[in-house]
Amino acid sequence: MSNTAAPWRVLVCEFITGGGLGGAPLAGGLANEGDIMLTRVLQDLADTGRVDLSLTRDRRMAPLDLPARVIPVTATESIWSRWEECVRQCDAVLPIAPETGGVLERLSRLVLANGKLLLGSAPEAIRVAASKIETAELLASHGISAVTTVTVRDPIPAAGDGWVVKPDDGAGCEHTYHFATLDSLRSWLPCAEENQIVQPYLPGIAASASLFCRDGSAWLLACNRQMVECINGELHCTGIAVNALTGYADQVKPIIEQVARILPGLSGYVGIDLVFTTRGPVVMEINPRLTTAYAGLRDCMAINPGALLLELLMDGKPPAQDMRALGGRLVALT
């Protein structure tokens, strides 16, 4: 598609702010992160001049000045029916949704079932990445250093600095708890839900990699530092210093390239969470979707990442191999 062609009709479907919670209370932290990503990617895509944008918006959310057609939705509506109607009226869809409960996979399948271009990862890759246990096992089987991950009913893995408990398909730091001692963990485990998992807490630098993927290839955009705090036994991410860890790029590139090869369905923007330990980087999870770090990319790059996304997935044009980010950018979440 050339820049002189008719604009593509693109639906940007952000689950939390777009009506996905129905009548349930809006999750403040996730809604805030959703708006951070939404406003940035909408502006990036609009600035390409290649697309006409639309989105659904929960009426309870504050109005935003967005470069898109906004479709208000209420708690009484069948949001999945409304989304299918919107999908049918567009050419391509960028889903921004948590993996929790299979939401991102379901939304992606909806796009493909209606014959539209999916500006994201394939449902099969999402299904694997949505499970922290499946992800850790797959990576370890291919020689990639991944955090030991077990269910709450399995034997507790060895750890020198405590343990972390979280949902197997959770997003961000939602419902993520730290237990400093074995006794405290054991006393809590009878209350655990079946979907929760246990991992050793890894001291080091909490980080993430921002990358683009397609057809088994990966291109690193930025190495980011995650600001993680433990408050009353619960972990919270308070911000992302986008591209603050440029010195770790050489350690990250082989990892993302191998991840893309073993999960070739990863497509478009992908985030990989890691911890840089004294023994090297350890992968924590794969996020087959837009992450909050995306919001800082344009400020520390020499090019619009939204334009790169369209070029990659609409035109089949990969990013330049020698792409370099220019400097750090803090995205605050508090």
Average pLDDT, integer, range 295-306: 90
Give the CATH number, domain containing residue 23: 3.40.50.11770
Residue 2 falls inside a structural domain: no
Q: Say whether pLDDT at 329 is over 80.
A: no
Share the mean pLDDT of the chain.
Answer: 92
Q: Say whether pLDDT at 14 is over 50.
A: yes
CA-based angle 14:16:18, to the nearest 5? 55
- Looking at residue 287, what is its pLDDT? 97
pLDDT-based confidence at 327, cuts 50/70/90? low
Query: And the tokens for 51?
Result: 């697309």
List pLDDT tens digits, range 302-326: 889 999 999 999 999 998 865 655 6
255 and 300 both lie in a single domain? yes
For residues 21 and 15, give the distance between their C-alpha atoms in angstroms, rounded to a whole number: 8
136 and 284 both lie in a single domain? yes
- Looking at residue 173, what is its pLDDT? 72
Residue 3 falls inside a structural domain: no
- Residue 148 contacts residue 200 (beta carbons within 8 Å): yes
Q: Around Cβ 298, how many Cβ atoms within 10 Å?
A: 20
List pLDDT tens digits, range 119-162: 999 999 999 999 999 999 999 999 999 999 999 999 999 999 99
- Residue 153 contacts residue 195 (beta carbons within 8 Å): no
Q: What percent of the chain clears pLDDT 90, i.e. is strictly above it? A: 78
What's the domain range around 258? 128-143+203-228+236-332
Domain count, the chain: 3
pLDDT-based confidence at 31, cuts 50/70/90? confident
Average pLDDT, integer, range 221-234: 91
Q: Say whether pLDDT at 328 is over 80.
A: no
Q: Around Cβ 84, how many Cβ atoms within 10 Å?
A: 15
Average pLDDT, integer, range 74-101: 94
List pLDDT tens digits, range 154-196: 999 999 999 999 999 887 677 899 999 999 999 999 989 899 9
pLDDT-based confidence at 5, cuts 50/70/90? confident
162 and 177 both lie in a single domain? yes
215 and 136 both lie in a single domain? yes
Q: Say whether pLDDT at 2 is over 50.
A: no
181 and 311 both lie in a single domain? no
pLDDT-based confidence at 1, cuts 50/70/90? very low
Give the CATH number, domain containing residue 297: 3.30.470.20
Residue 81 falls inside a structural domain: yes
- Concatenating the DSSP letter of every residue in 145-182 gives -B---EETTSPPPP-SS-EEEEETT--TTTT-EEESSH
46 and 23 both lie in a single domain? yes
221 and 288 both lie in a single domain? yes
List pLDDT tens digits, range 154-165: 999 999 999 999
132 and 268 both lie in a single domain? yes
pLDDT-based confidence at 64, cuts 50/70/90? confident
